[in-house]
Structure 1
Amino acid sequence: MMVPLADLLLSPDDMTAVDRDAAASSIDSYGLMERAGQAVAASALRHFPGALRFVVLCGPGNNGGDGYVTARALQQSGASVKLFHLGESMRLKGDAARAFADCPVKGEAIAQYVPRAGDVVIDAIFGAGLSRPVPAEVEAVIVRVGEADIPVIAIDLPSGLDGASGQILGAAFRAKRTVTFMARKPGHILLPGRDLCGELEVFDIGIPARIVRAHADNLIGENTPMQWQAKIPSAGADTHKYKRGHLVVFSGGPNATGAARMSAMAGLKAGAGLVTIASPPEAMAVNAGSLTAIMLHAVDDEASLRAWLADQRLSTFILGPGFGAGEKACQFCLALADRHLVLDADGITSFRDEPQRLFDAFAAGPTRLVLTPHEGEFGRLFPDIAADASLNKVDKARAAAARAHAAIIYKGADSVIAAPDGRALINANAPPWLATAGSGDVLAGIVGGLMTQGAPAFEAAAAGVWLHGLAGQHAGKGLTAEDLVASVKPL
C-alpha cells in the first residue's frame, strides 16, 4: 500500500530538494508560494475568527515570503493586519522579494512588536530550515509572545525548532496551529517539536507527488498499523495455543517478582499461546501464589537453563524486568543467542561494560534481538552514539540498531523504533500518563507476545509500542501498570 503524501516524513534538506526539482520542472515557484500563503490565511480566518488583529512576523527567506502572501490575503479578506520583518526587506531575493513587492501591508522592524490582547501571530520567520540558535531579537519576541499568551500560527514549523530533530534552537514559539506543505518533517512529531506545533495541518500546494516521493526517505515514518500490520500473524480458525508460540519471562528473586509477572500477563494478552515464568527456586512460592493462566518453571543457573532449552518450542524470551543486573543476566542472554530475545532494564544494564559481547552473540542470521533502552540505558550500551550531538533521536536509534543487529526501541514520549536495515518509525500515540512504574515491563511483554507468534523483531517492536500506547489511552489518566496490563488488546 502506498503511503499518502501527508504521512511521509521529509527532512528539511529533502524538502529543499523537492522545491528545487519542482522549479526545474518548470512549475511556477511563486505560484506555490501563493498557494502556501493563501492556505495559511484561510486557516487563520477559519480557526481564529475573533482575532482583533493578525500580526505577521516575516523572516529573510522563503518562509518570510509565505508570510507576505499571508498578510496580503488576510488584508484582502478585510482583517486587520500588522506586519513586522526581520532584517532589511530590500535584501530579499527571488520569490520572497516578489511576495514582499506584492504585499500592500507596510512593515516595521520585528523588535518593535509589542503584543496586545486580541492579537494572533503568524510566525513566518524561519520555518523548518533553521540550523542555528535564533538571533537575540527573535528570542526576545518569542519570549514576549509567550508571556502575553498570544495564539501563534506557525508556517511550516514554529521558528526556533530544528525540522530534523524537533529540538529547540535557543528559543521557539509554542504554536496553537502549524500549517506545513506537502509532507511533514521529523521535527513535527519528535519531541519537543510535536508539543510546540499544536494542531498540525498538511496542505497540498500542488507539487507533483512523483517529485515529493522521489526525495522522501521511505525508511522513516510515523509508527502506525499501516507500517507493520501485514507482518503480524492473525489467528485462523484452526489455531491452537502451540501455534501461537511459547513465551518465557525470567523472574527476579523473591523480593522482585512483580515485574516479570506483569510482562508475562502482557505477553499472554498480546496473543502468546503459552507463557511461562522462569523463576529462581527461592522465588517459586512467591510466584506460584500469584499465577493462574501463566505457568512456572524453576531455573537456577545457566546449566539448568541450557538443559531446559532442549525444548525447541521455547522460542521467545524476555529478560530484564526485575531480574537484577550482573553476570548471571549476561550468561542467560548468551545462552539464548539462537532464540528470540527481548532484553529490557537490568538485562541491558548488565552489558554496559562489554556491550559488544552481546552484539556479537546475536550478529549472525535474521534479527532475533529486541533492545528496549530508555535514555540512560541507551547511553550505557551506545555511549559514543548517545553523546554525538550531530545526531537526532532517529539517527541514534538507526546507528544503534545497525551496530547491535537488533531492533531498538529507544524509549520515551516519542519512542523511536529502528531496524538494522535502516528502517525507523517514530511513535506518537503514547499518552503522558504512561510514564509510571512498570510501564516498560508491560511493553516488553507485548513485544515478546507478538514475537512468539512469529512476528519479525522490528514489526513486533513497532506494533508493541503502538499497542502499548493504545492500552495507555484506554486505561486513562492515573493508570498503574496493573491497569495497563488489563487494557492490552491483541490486534
Structure 2
Amino acid sequence: MPATLPLYRAQDARAIDRRAIERLGVPAFELMSRAGAAAWRLLRERWPQARRIGVACGPGNNGGDGYVLARLAREGGCRVELVALQPPRTAEARQAAAEWQAAGGRTQVFEAGLPEVDLWVDALFGIGLTRAPEGAARELIEAINAAAVPVLALDTPSGVDADRGHVPGAAVRATSTLCFIAAKRGLHTGAALDHVGEVVLDPLALPPAAFEGTPPAARLLRPAALQRWLPRRARDSHKGRYGHVLCVGGDLGLGGAVRLCAEAALRAGAGLVSVATRAEHVAAILAARPEAMTRSIEDAGDFTPLLERASVLALGPGLGLGDWGWSLWTAALRSGKPAVLDADALNLLAGQQTWALPAGCVLTPHPGEAARLLDAAPGEIQRDRFAAAEALAAQYGAVVVLKGAGTVVAAPEEVPCVIAAGNPGMASGGMGDVLTGTIAALLAQGLSAFDAACAGALLHAAAGDAAAREGGERGLLPSDLFAPLRRLANPHD
C-alpha cells in the first residue's frame, strides 16, 4: 500500500475516462467490462463462501458495471438476484444488461422487499449522485442497509458525495468500496467514512498517459509517509538544531491544556520547550514534566523575554478569552514568530477578522471553530470540508488543519492532503492540545509550515491509533498518545 495516494474529484475521473476512450482507443464497453471483472475478483477474494449474490443496478454506467459482475458471478456458479431500479439508459449499460439476459440472467424491478442473499453489490449510482436519494432509490438503499449482510459498493456507496464526503440523505453502508480508475477524494473524509468501509482502488489497467493533464485534487497520507519528513538525526546533533517551542496558555483552571501541549512538543522532538502560563500552574507542570521550562506570566511585559528566545509559538491551549489571554495573544502575534493557533487563539482570531498573521502560521480548527472563523454554520463546514479548509487558508494566508474524521490540511498554492489515520476515541478534550504541540515541534525542527502540519496531523493520528490498539477507543486519553508519539516520530529506528 503506497504511503501517499492521489485523490480526484468526480469530474476528474470522468476526464480520465474520456481520455482513455478518445485518445488511447479503449472502448467504453471495454472499461465497463474491466470494472465488472475487477469487482467480481474482489468479491471472490473478500467473500469466497458467498453463493447467493444480490446485485442492485441503477440506470447508468454504474449499473452497467453491476450487470457485468452479475453475469460473471452467474457463470462462476453463484445464484444471482439482480434488482434494477430502472431500465438501463446508456448504450454500454444496455449492452451489459443484454449480455446478462443472454447468459440466462433474470432482472427483477424493485418494488418493496429484497430477496435473501449472502451479500449485496451496490451498483446504483456511483459518482453520479450528489443529492439525497428520493422515492424508490431511497427505499432500495434503506432495504440494502437493513439486510444485515456484507455490501460491496462499486466506485462510491450510493448516496455519498464522492467529491465532498457529504451524506445528504440515505446512503449505502458498504463493507468494501471498490474505486475504479481513480481514488475519489470525498470517500476519505467526513460522514463518508461511516459508509465506505474498506476502500480499494483498481485503475483498470489504464496507462499513465490517461492521467496526463488531470492533476489530483488532493492527496491521501498514510502513516508510512512519516519517513519522508522524519529522517534519522545526525550523530553530532545538539538541542539548538531542533528549535525552541514556546507554549502559551493555561489560564486559571486550564493548566492541563498547556501542559499536554508542552509534553507533545517534547515527545515530537523539539530541542527546547518553554511554557508561559499562570503562576498557579507552574509547580504542577514542573512536577509532572520538569523538562518543560515553565514560567509565570502575569502580563505582556513578563512575556517579551520568552518570545525573544522562542523560534515557534504554540498559542491557545487553555488561553482563555479574558484580558490575560488577550494580552498574550496580541503580544505573541505581534512578535512575528511563526505560530500554531488552536482553541482560544482561534476564538480570539474569529473576533479580529482583519488581523494579519505572521508568515508560517498554522491554524488547527475543529468544525465549530472553523465555522466561527468563516462566519458560517458548522453544518456548512461539514458539507464540504475541502472548500472550508481552502477558504480559511485563503482568508488568513496560513496553513489550515481542519480536524475531524479524515483531517484535511490545506494551504495557499498547495494540493490539500487528507490524513488516513485517527479514530473516534480521539474525540475527547485535550487531543487538540497534543496536536498543537506536535505540529509546533515539527515546525521548530525546520519543516515548512505545510509539511509540519501534514506530518504533525499524521503523526498525531497514527499515535492515537496505536494507543487505541492497546486498550480500545472508548476512554482514550490525550496523554495515552505520548509513548506511541515518540516511537512513531522515529520511523527509521
Whether TM exceeds 0.5 here: the answer is yes
User: Could you say which residue in structure 1 is the equivalent of 2:314?
Assistant: 318
Comparing 101-110 with 158-167, greater Cα deviation is found at 101-110
Q: Which amino acid aligns with 1:298?
A: S
CA displacement 1:388-436 (0-9 Å, x = unmatched): 5796101210111111111111111221111122431111210221122
User: Could you say which residue in structure 1 is the equivalent of 2:240?
Assistant: 242
User: Could you say which residue in structure 1 is the equivalent of 2:251?
Assistant: 253
Q: Distance in 2 between matches of 1:387 and 1:180?
A: 27
User: Could you say which residue in structure 2 is the equivalent of 1:268?
Assistant: 266
Structure 1 residues 87 and 444: CA distance shift in structure 2, 3 A? same
Comparing 106-115 with 179-188, greater Cα deviation is found at 106-115
SS at match of 2:162: coil
Q: Distance in 2 between matches of 1:113 and 1:215?
A: 42
Compute the displacement of 1:381 (Å). 1.1
Structure 1 residues 286 and 109: CA distance shift in structure 2, 3 A? same
Say which of 421, 425, 431 aligns to 1:439.
Answer: 431
User: Could you say which residue in structure 1 is the equivalent of 2:302?
Assistant: 304
* 1:232–1:460 CA contact under 8 A, matched in 2: no
Compute the displacement of 1:81 (Å). 1.1
User: Could you say which residue in structure 1 is the equivalent of 2:466?
Assistant: 474
* 2:299–2:324 CA contact under 8 A, matched in 1: yes
What aligned pairs does 1:120-159 form with structure 2 within 5 A after superposition? Answer: 120-159=119-158
Compute the displacement of 1:60 (Å). 0.9
User: Could you say which residue in structure 1 is the equivalent of 2:331?
Assistant: 335
* 1:56–1:71 CA contact under 8 A, matched in 2: yes
* 2:37–2:72 CA contact under 8 A, matched in 1: yes
SS at match of 1:163: coil
User: Could you say which residue in structure 1 is the equivalent of 2:361?
Assistant: 369
SS at match of 1:262: helix
Comparing 369-378 with 414-423, greater Cα deviation is found at 414-423
User: Could you say which residue in structure 2 is the equivalent of 1:221?
Assistant: 219
Q: Which amino acid aligns with 1:223?
A: L
Q: Distance in 1 between matches of 2:17 and 2:181?
A: 11
Say which of 472, 481, 486 aligns to 2:483.
Answer: 486
Q: Which amino acid aligns with 1:197?
A: V
User: Could you say which residue in structure 2 is the equivalent of 1:85?
Assistant: 84
Q: Distance in 1 between matches of 2:65 and 2:228?
A: 41
* 2:84–2:108 CA contact under 8 A, matched in 1: yes
SS at match of 1:347: helix
User: Could you say which residue in structure 2 is the equivalent of 1:454?
Assistant: 446
Gapped regions of structure 1 (runs ≥ 5): none
* 2:173–2:195 CA contact under 8 A, matched in 1: yes
Q: Distance in 2 between matches of 1:390 and 1:261?
A: 30
Q: Distance in 1 between matches of 2:353 and 2:325?
A: 13
Q: Distance in 2 between matches of 1:43 and 1:246?
A: 50
* 2:5–2:221 CA contact under 8 A, matched in 1: no
What aligned pairs does 1:19-418 form with structure 2 within 5 A after superposition? Answer: 19-25=17-23, 26-89=25-88, 92-104=89-101, 105-116=105-116, 118-217=117-216, 220-224=218-222, 230-232=228-230, 234-309=232-307, 311=308, 313-337=309-333, 338-357=336-355, 360-362=356-358, 367-384=359-376, 392-418=384-410
Compute the displacement of 1:146 (Å). 1.9
Q: Which amino acid aligns with 1:435?
A: A
User: Could you say which residue in structure 1 is the equivalent of 2:421?
Assistant: 429
Q: Distance in 2 between matches of 1:102 and 1:5?
A: 40
Structure 1 residues 188 and 308: CA distance shift in structure 2, 3 A? closer
Structure 1 residues 308 and 80: CA distance shift in structure 2, 3 A? closer
Q: Distance in 1 between matches of 2:381 and 2:350?
A: 21
Structure 1 residues 391 and 432: CA distance shift in structure 2, 3 A? closer
Q: Distance in 1 between matches of 2:405 and 2:3?
A: 25
CA displacement 1:196-239 (0-9 Å, x = unmatched): 1112221131222222243132x611123676754556521121
CA displacement 1:340-382 (0-9 Å, x = unmatched): 111111111122222322xx143xxxx4211111111111111
* 1:115–1:145 CA contact under 8 A, matched in 2: no
Compute the displacement of 1:113 (Å). 4.7
* 1:349–1:377 CA contact under 8 A, matched in 2: yes
SS at match of 1:413: coil
* 1:6–1:184 CA contact under 8 A, matched in 2: no
* 1:402–1:422 CA contact under 8 A, matched in 2: no
Q: Which amino acid aligns with 1:294?
A: A
Comparing 122-131 with 318-327, greater Cα deviation is found at 318-327
CA RMSD of aligned residues (A): 2.4
CA displacement 1:66-125 (0-9 Å, x = unmatched): 111111111111211121212234xx2221122122222221212255232x43211111
Q: Distance in 1 between matches of 2:81 and 2:167?
A: 27
Compute the displacement of 1:263 (Å). 0.7
Gapped regions of structure 2 (runs ≥ 5): none
Q: Distance in 2 between matches of 1:236 and 1:353?
A: 44
- Between the two proteins, the alignment pairs up a number of residues equal to 477
Structure 1 residues 308 and 39: CA distance shift in structure 2, 3 A? closer
Q: Distance in 2 between matches of 1:330 and 1:369?
A: 18
Q: Distance in 1 between matches of 2:485 and 2:175?
A: 32
Structure 1 residues 351 and 185: CA distance shift in structure 2, 3 A? same
CA displacement 1:6-35 (0-9 Å, x = unmatched): 922111111111111111112222111111
